[in-house]
């Protein structure tokens, strides 16, 4: 059985992320979507727990997609969960440079136990990012092309909580 880990901040999960998750679930026996706490990123829109709950809601009917939250290094989480590879989504050449270094470090840390597999989102989602979605949302523009309705509703709920219902 080939299990893979798909780590990210998912703040929030976008249709770009979902496209990668669905491709990975077609290719491998199990995908462990891992919501990571990134200490170098400032406090985001959703807490770690909230981000995980949103993804669980999206995939609760999918038997081979598991959702967990973790801190620390993705490669350690992969070894702990017996994942043979880390899935990364590639968007641009600038992503590539970073990913080449990361996969090498992860191979070294894991003694060649954890490989990296890069996937590409379908063209309509290739440039979608969580930060772009948050910016567009702040401007009160439609984000339905970039996130699932479940995510959009949670974003509206969060805005109402923060600014109070009008
Ligand atoms: P972001 O970089 O948007 O903050 P994450 O840290 O949550 O997102 O990203 C997790 C992984 O998903 C990374 O490998 C990232 O490159 C990939 N990814 C994010 N958005 C897309 C997309 N639209 N197409 C392909 N890969 C993506």
pLDDT digits (tens, 9 = 90+) for 2-42: 999 999 999 999 999 999 999 999 999 999 999 999 777 76
Burial of 75 (0-12, 13-18, 19+ CB in 10 A): buried
Q: Which whole number is the average pLDDT over 57-81?
A: 97
Among 15, 17, 51, 88, the active-site one is 17
Question: Any idea what the CATH number is for the domain that residue 21 is in?
Answer: 3.40.50.620
Pocket test for ligand 1, best of 19, 20, 78, 95 (most atoms within 8 A of CB): 20
Summarize pLDDT for 91-116 with one digit per residue, the tens. Answer: 988 889 999 999 999 999 999 999 99
**Is residue 128 a contact partner of residue 121, using CB atoms and an 8 Å limit?**
yes
- Return the SS3 of 66: strand
Distance 123 CA to ligand 1 centre (A): 14
Residues 87, 90, 95, 97: is their CA dihedral positive or negative?
Answer: positive
**Is residue 87 a contact partner of residue 4, using CB atoms and an 8 Å limit?**
yes
**Is residue 49 a contact partner of residue 81, using CB atoms and an 8 Å limit?**
no
Pocket test for ligand 1, best of 17, 46, 122 (most atoms within 8 A of CB): 17
Q: What is the mean pLDDT of the chain?
A: 95
Distance 76 CA to ligand 1 centre (A): 20
Number of domains in the chain: 1
Q: Which domain holds residue 13?
A: 3-163
């Amino acid at each position: 059985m080939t299990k893979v880990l798909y780590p990210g901040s998912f703040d929030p999960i976008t249709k770009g992320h979902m496209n990668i998750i669905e491709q990975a679930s077609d290719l491998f026996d199990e995908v462990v979507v891992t919501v990571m706490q990134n200490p170098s990123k400032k406090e985001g829109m959703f807490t770690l727990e909230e981000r995980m709950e949103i993804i669980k809601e999206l995939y609760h009917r999918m038997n081979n997609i598991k959702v967990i939250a973790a801190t620390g290094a993705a490669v350690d989480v992969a070894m702990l969960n017996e994942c043979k590879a880390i899935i990364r989504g590639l968007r641009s050449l600038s992503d590539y440079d970073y990913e080449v270094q990361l996969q090498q470090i992860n191979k070294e840390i894991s003694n060649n136990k954890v490989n990296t597999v890069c996937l590409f989102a379908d063209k309509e989602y290739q440039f979608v990012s969580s930060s772009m979605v948050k910016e567009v949302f702040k401007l009160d523009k439609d984000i339905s092309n970039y996130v699932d309705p479940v995510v959009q509703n949670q974003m509206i709920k969060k805005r109402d909580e923060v600014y109070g219902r009008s």
